[in-house]
Structure 1
Amino acid sequence: MTAALLLASLAAATGMLGARLDRAHWPARLPKHAIVIWQALSWCFVTSVLLAGLALAVPSVPWGVDGLAGFVGACAALVRDHYATPGGAAAGGVGLLVVGTVVSSIGVRACAEVRMLRRARARQRSAVTLVADHDERADVWLLEEPRPAAYVLPGRVPMIVVTTGAVADLHDGELRAVLAHERAHVDGRHDIAITVARILHRALPGVPLLAAAAREVPRLLEMHADDRAAQAHGRRALATALARLAGALRPGTEATPVTLRSTGGDAAARVERMTDAARRGRCWQRCALGAVALVLLLAPLALAAAPAVEAAVLDYCPVPLG
């Protein structure tokens, strides 16, 4: 019972308190590490819920006790005692219901989301190939459009699309910085991180943490791509390019799950961030965030396994009296 309570408490803490991370200022200095923290928090919440349900179900499922006892080399009776709950079979049924509900909800939403994205991206890819010209040397698709814009269509073969307006309005250094930003999205497979965050939020819509992660992860990915582009082409060139592109952006044409745009997220804040050289994280902050992420990844597993490990350490089977 202790394991289930601790896991439920951990899930509640991460689900409610973890959402407050979007109020912090440090993620703008370390967007890559902030993304990892959001993902670790989401993992910690979902895994804690699932393992809490399994911990409740272990005593009432014979194969679960025997399999776990054999895995850790402990007595099955001790494992059952360590995971025992006052509700008995009823608590085990609740645990299995929780696990089944969460797994099925995430699975159904994942299938629907992936199917929707594939169809939408296929339509856009077909449209781009019909009206745009492929520059093989730069590996970009040039779209005849006076408004400057650049975006990437993710997929097995990603397509970076640039309008003729962007080519005309941006200087060479600025255009190279924008293309580097889009290639950072492609190389990092940022579309996968956005899709996972959206799936978890839509599968479990009442969880503040997952709602905040679905909102913050795309914004931080844009900042991370900015940093990658700025390393190669300079912060000033990228800031100027972002300002030009954002100024030409029509309302309602911001980044979507189907495409990743250079002007995605809060473009004005990103321009300010590029011009503020002081907004950079320090080495000790990176190390501390890495340690926090590791703790969040391992904590649910450690809490779930602790009773079984304790049973293995005791190394004896209770002998019933009478």
Structure 2
Amino acid sequence: MSDDTPTRLTYREACKQAIRDALNRDPRCLVMGEDVGLYGGCYAVTKGLLEEFGPERIRDMPLAEGVIAGSAIGAAIAGLRPIAEIMTCNFSLLALDQIINNAATIPHMSGGQFAVPLVVRLATGGGRQLAAQHSHSFEGWYAHIPGIRILAPGTVEDARYMLAAALDDPNPVLIFEHVVLYNDEGDLDPEVVSVDIDSARVRRPGKDVTIVTYGGSLPKALAAADELVGLGIEAEVIDLRVLRPVDTATIYASVARTRRCVIVDEGWRSGSLSAEIAARIAEDLFFELDAPIRRVCSREVPVPYAAHMEEAALPRTADIVAAASGLARPQ
């Protein structure tokens, strides 16, 4: 195999390689979380790392999210580079005080005397029949909070390289990994050894309608774009990648060209990240639009357990196709 041959691996393995690289690169780096050691992580991302790095650097923590987050914040202030894992973003609600009132505010309230270089990894989203308390998407909530950066890797490449950039950030970074992506496979370009955590990416160019999305909804948006070709519609798909701060420049440039926009967000429609993006487009690009902005979001219900109900509650490819075709081909 030549050095320029792409490496194919799963999203899960990409996350693991990113963590292993971080531990090898910086002796101050450690992993903290529930079942990250002996069990290998709830989603097997840290499997084998305890044997490789030992219990000082792969630390099984109590089943208490506030303790996990609080200990990681203290470690970060003391000079370490912790990677805290919270099994699912639903459970992060038990650590809200630590994340929002401490990690996000200490650098500001201390006048810059203390930095909190903390990374928190969280599984997010539905689609695995894990019921309401394990399936919601709260990244939009966290994107409301100043003082933290919110990342949503939707590709194997981003899963592999976003962590390093996050660890270099002097402020707290939350990385939301969608549960349906862990088994997905992708190719890593050997010439790519890093990614930024500032900008959105155009994952598919088009001229008729812009589809804005991120994370677990990215494959659905790309599948919808494939279907739209059969209807004579060329959709441009933008992967936000970074939910705070949002790269509005990339969004605006696309919408100014296509003049139509569909926003796909697995969060609930009310008070959502999609609502914020739609508001910004309406405020700044109103006269560039040829049609109303459309949103495809989760139904306003707790995510159901039953497979057919869960599927109906979450954004579907067919919903994206219907929204985009309705704008590009108005009746």
Is TM more than 0.5 here?
no
Bigger-Rg structure (1/2): 1
TM-score by structure 1 length?
0.22
Higher helix share: 1
TM-score by structure 2 length?
0.22
